[in-house]
């Protein structure tokens, strides 16, 4: 199922036949440097557990560019408890989060990430009624942070020791995109 199309970019449902792509991408040291960690290459069982085990809250997708699968994105609603953990006290609106990576490294540095994030923001606002969209990149991941800022996200606060990466708990930025009401 296709969720969104913007020119050459397509966001479609993750299919079981995509498993080999996920394994390939998440065993590439360049990709793992930014997503999951080089000490954590994925095998078939890990991919099945993380990407194919049922989770009603996550929508898992493949990113295609010019009809070539190049990466992965997932989106999910943030529940009230998580909103409070992030500091959104008394927030009543719909909040979504996303996680993504471009697994085909030859597509890095071409503006596709920015196109992807802007497209996902548009989709979540128009189709899912999102009022806020949040991301939590590690503070050292300047490439991702620049991409998100170009897409309209702002840094709101540091999340100390928020994500385990290469054996160490890393600080992350909480970044948000807010719909102007």
> What pLDDT, in 10s, does the model give residues 57-81?
899 999 999 999 999 999 999 988 8
Give domain limits for the chain. 2-178
Q: b/e string for 132-142 if b means 16 or more Cβ within 10 A?
A: bbbbbbbbebe
Rounded mean pLDDT of 25-50?
94
The mean predicted confidence, pLDDT, of the chain is 94
CA–CA distance, 41 with 3 (Å, rounded to integer):
29
**pTM, two decimal places:** 0.94
Quick one: pLDDT at residue 56?
87
Q: Span 2-178: which CATH code?
A: 3.40.630.30
CA–CA distance, 173 with 54 (Å, rounded to integer):
28
Quick one: pLDDT at residue 69?
99
CA–CA distance, 81 with 101 (Å, rounded to integer):
26
Token pair 């909103």: residue: 83
Question: Taking 70 as the threshold, does the pLDDT of residue 97 lie above it?
Answer: yes
CA–CA distance, 181 with 93 (Å, rounded to integer):
11
Classify burial at 11, counting beta carbons within 10 Å of its beta carbon; exposed 0-12, middle 13-18, buried 19 or more. buried
CA–CA distance, 64 with 39 (Å, rounded to integer):
27
Confidence at 84, pLDDT banded by 50, 70, 90: confident
Rounded mean pLDDT of 70-95?
86
Quick one: pLDDT at residue 181?
54
Quick one: pLDDT at residue 90?
67
């Amino acid at each position: 199922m296709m969720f969104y199309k913007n020119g050459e970019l397509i966001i479609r449902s993750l299919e079981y036949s995509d498993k080999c792509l996920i394994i390939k991408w998440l065993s590439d040291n360049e990709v793992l440097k930014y997503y999951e960690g080089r000490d954590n290459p994925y095998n078939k069982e890990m991919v099945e557990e993380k990407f194919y085990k049922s989770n009603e809250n996550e929508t898992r997708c493949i990113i295609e560019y010019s009809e070539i699968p190049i990466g992965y994105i997932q989106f999910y609603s943030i529940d009230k408890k998580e909103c409070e953990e992030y500091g959104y006290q008394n927030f009543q609106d719909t909040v979504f989060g996303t996680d993504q990576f471009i697994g085909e490294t030859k597509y890095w540095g071409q503006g596709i990430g920015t196109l992807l994030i802007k497209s996902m923001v548009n989709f979540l606002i128009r189709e899912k009624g999102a009022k806020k969209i949040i991301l939590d990149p590690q503070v050292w991941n300047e490439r991702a942070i620049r991409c998100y800022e170009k897409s309209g996200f702002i840094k709101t606060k540091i999340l100390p020791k928020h994500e385990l990466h290469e054996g160490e708990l890393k600080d992350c930025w909480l970044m948000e995109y807010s719909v102007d009401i």
